[in-house]
């Protein structure tokens, strides 16, 4: 489901950009003898051989950048660790690499040392050998099987992108087709007519989390129901931790501070699920609740001010990023959940929905 993220780390002028260009077969990163040539992380989507498949290759700034902006460049380099599946480290014996190796070890990220003179083919074969095999095989988990009928209820409101489906919907539809399921798609407005046209009960109904209440009230109580965001919680996060986190909603005190964590950046509108709807639902329960939004890489280093973290479905982020944020939350003693599970809890149907 995700592209594996392979990040290249090392001291300044150790050959990181040259290696990235060699792997890609094109000039992705600027190469020069001037220390600090690579400033921000440079990302390249690529298809790699030897069973690696679709990947994101990331070139980073030098770990020992001593320029005026060096500390900020190093900070951004270390941010890359959160979404890294495999780390290629150059000049691994350099003192500046020691702290990095400690962080990679704490995050259980496989490290592939690169030695000068090693061919790209040899390097990629080593990368393929340590490729993580973790994660859920299917987004839909064991909720469906070959031949099942699955109904997808997909609101197409102002939050939906014009002229296309959102990524989780596309991924789930493709997966259901690959698994040999019969897929019926509709909007909430056409759900009633869709139900009346079905000859058999579906094995599963999947909807957008914000339509949970409507769909739950519109379908028979014995039809299994879940959401795209909950499926992503299973595929990329930790269902048990997220469910426990959602139960913490009932313990929030007046004036509590809740972090709404988005993995992407986007321009919100008046119907934004994370910035508008979830905070509004929370404030109906908890007076004077403060919702703080972090977007993209701006996940706070200090989580102690927060009573709860509600993470987005992370449709464009990889599992490594989500799980690194879960580890940080647990280490800080802060409950964490995700949009879909939080919404189910807020609407009183968490015990009714099907978890992957």
Q: What is the pLDDT of residues 32-86, one digit of tens each?
A: 544 555 557 899 999 999 999 999 999 998 887 666 555 677 778 888 999 999 9
Measured distance between the N- and C-terminal CA atoms of the chain, rounded to whole angstroms: 15
Looking at residue 144, its pLDDT comes to 97
Of the listed ranges 20-24, 26-30, 102-106, the least confidently predicted one is 26-30
For the chain, count helices (H), then strands (E).
12, 13
**pLDDT greater than 90 at residue 239:** yes
For the stretch 150-203, pLDDT in tens is 999 999 866 666 778 888 999 999 999 999 999 999 999 999 999 999 999 999
Specify whether domain 4-129 bears CATH 3.30.2020.30: no
Of the listed ranges 9-13, 48-52, 258-262, the least confidently predicted one is 9-13
Looking at residue 20, its pLDDT comes to 93
d(CA 234, CA 65): 39
Of the two residues 25 and 322, the one the predictor is more confident about is 322
Q: Where are the domains of the chain?
A: 4-129, 149-230, 236-346
Rounded to the nearest 5 percent, the helix, strand and coil shares of the chain are: 35, 20, 45
149-230: which CATH topology?
Rossmann fold (3.40.50)
Helix (H) or strand (E) run with residue 350 in it: none
Segment 260-284 shows an average pLDDT of 85
**pLDDT greater than 70 at residue 30:** no
Percent of the chain with pLDDT strictly greater than 90: 70
Percent of the chain with pLDDT strictly greater than 70: 90
d(CA 222, CA 352): 9
Looking at residue 74, its pLDDT comes to 75
Averaged confidence pLDDT in the chain:
90
Strand 42-48 relative to strand 53-59, pairing: antiparallel
**pLDDT greater than 80 at residue 111:** yes
Same fold, 4-129 and 149-230: yes
Judge whether 43 and 58 are in contact, CB under 8 Å.
yes
Looking at residue 84, its pLDDT comes to 95
How many other C-beta atoms lie within 10 A of the C-beta of residue 102? 10
**pLDDT greater than 70 at residue 4:** yes
d(CA 171, CA 90): 35
236-346: which CATH topology?
Rossmann fold (3.40.50)
Buried/exposed 170-184: b ≥16 CB within 10 Å, e otherwise: ebbbebbeebebebb
d(CA 32, CA 65): 15
Looking at residue 68, its pLDDT comes to 56
How many other C-beta atoms lie within 10 A of the C-beta of residue 321? 23
């Amino acid at each position: 489901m995700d592209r594996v993220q392979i990040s290249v780390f090392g001291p300044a002028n150790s050959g990181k950009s040259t290696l990235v260009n060699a792997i890609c077969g094109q000039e992705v990163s600027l190469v020069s003898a001037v220390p600090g040539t690579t400033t921000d992380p440079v990302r390249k989507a690529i298809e790699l051989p030897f069973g690696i498949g679709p990947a994101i290759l990331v070139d980073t700034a030098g770990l020992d950048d001593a320029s005026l902006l060096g500390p900020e460049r190093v900070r951004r380099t270390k941010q890359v660790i959160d979404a890294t599946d495999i780390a290629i480290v150059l000049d691994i014996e350099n003192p500046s690499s020691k702290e990095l190796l400690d962080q990679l070890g704490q995050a259980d990220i496989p490290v592939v040392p690169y030695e000068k003179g090693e061919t790209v083919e040899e390097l990629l074969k080593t990368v393929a050998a340590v490729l993580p095999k973790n994660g859920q095989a299917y987004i839909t988990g064991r909720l469906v099987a070959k031949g099942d009928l699955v109904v997808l209820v997909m609101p197409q409101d102002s939050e939906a992108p014009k002229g296309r489906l959102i990524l989780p919907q596309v991924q789930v539809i493709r997966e259901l087709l690959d698994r040999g399921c019969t897929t019926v798609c509709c909007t909430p407005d056409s759900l009633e007519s869709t139900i009346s046209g079905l000859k058999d009960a579906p094995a599963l109904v999947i909807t957008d989390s914000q339509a949970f209440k409507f769909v739950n009230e519109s379908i028979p109580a014995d039809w299994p129901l879940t959401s795209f965001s909950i499926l992503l919680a299973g595929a990329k996060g930790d269902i048990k931790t997220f469910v426990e986190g959602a139960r913490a909603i009932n313990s929030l005190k007046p004036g509590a501070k809740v972090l709404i964590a988005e993995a992407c950046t986007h321009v919100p509108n008046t119907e934004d699920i994370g910035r508008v709807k979830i905070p509004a639902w929370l404030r109906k329960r908890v007076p004077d609740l403060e919702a703080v939004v972090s977007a993209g890489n701006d996940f706070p280093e200090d989580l102690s001010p927060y009573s709860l973290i509600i993470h987005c479905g992370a449709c464009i982020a990889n599992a490594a990023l989500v799980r690194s944020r879960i580890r940080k939350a647990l280490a800080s003693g802060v409950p964490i959940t995700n949009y879909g599970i939080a919404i189910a809890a807020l609407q009183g149907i968490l015990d009714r929905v099907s978890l992957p």
